[in-house]
Copies of this chain bind each other. A is one copy, B any other.
Amino acid sequence: MECPVARSLERVGEWWSILILRDAIYGMTRFDEFQKNLKIAPNILTRRLTALVDAGLLERRRYCERPPRDEYILTQRGRDFRPVLHSLQAWGNKHFAPEGVSVMLVDKTTGQPAEPILVDRLTGKPITDATHANAAGPAAGARVQKRLGKSRKTAAAP
């Protein structure tokens, strides 16, 4: 499976994992905090936390020996998931908040609501259908090369 989107999804696992990552980025680290906020069954939470540790998104750290208690700290890989969460949040606010926005991103300095958009770090250009498209990378196999060759004529990324 070469598609980087599919690989990402494989690692995140399922919706619970994304909500756990969201809470971890909010600053939660402990089993009880996640459980209380997510109202998730303990056995499912244990399974999802273990999967996130195995995928290298969280790190388990013992904070109490007796009784044994672990906390879960975001790794760099986990922190790098942040733009996905911002994008999901912006999409949800735009399309699924008919009663108004409950949670919004703000500029800490000014307190003004921020509107996250993707730009190319190198050129500063906003990323749109018109300006950017996917292309086969150096490690692309035959299937990706064929697909991207075909799709670039009709549509764009990702």
Contacts A4-B97, A19-B6, A155-B26 given; indicate if A136 touches B102 (C-beta within 8 A).
Answer: yes
A84 CB to nearest B CB, Å:
4
- Name A90's closest neighbour in chain B (CB-CB): B83
A42 close to chain B: CB less than 8 A: no
Complex: chain B residue closest to A79, CB-CB = B129
A79-101 near B? 1/0 per residue, CB < 8 Å: 11111111111111111110111
Q: A122 and B112: CB pair below 8 A? A: yes
Interface residues of A (CB under 8 A from B): 2-11, 14-15, 18-19, 22, 25-27, 37, 56, 77, 79-97, 99-109, 111-125, 127, 129-141, 144, 147-148, 151, 154-158
A83 and B2 alpha carbons, distance in the complex (Å): 20
CB neighbours of A7 from chain B (8 A): 92, 96-97
Q: Given A80-B94, A137-B101, check contact A85 B5 (CB 8 Å).
A: yes
Report which of B5, B114, B118, B154 forms a contact with A83, defined as CB distance below 8 A: B118
CA distance A18 to B15 in the complex (A): 12
Which residues in B have their C-beta under 8 angstroms from that of A84? 84, 87-88, 91
Given the known inter-chain contacts A118-B116, A121-B116, A158-B22, please indicate yes or no for A2 contacting B91, CB distance below 8 A: no
Contacting residue for A135 out of B97, B104, B151, CB 8 A: B104
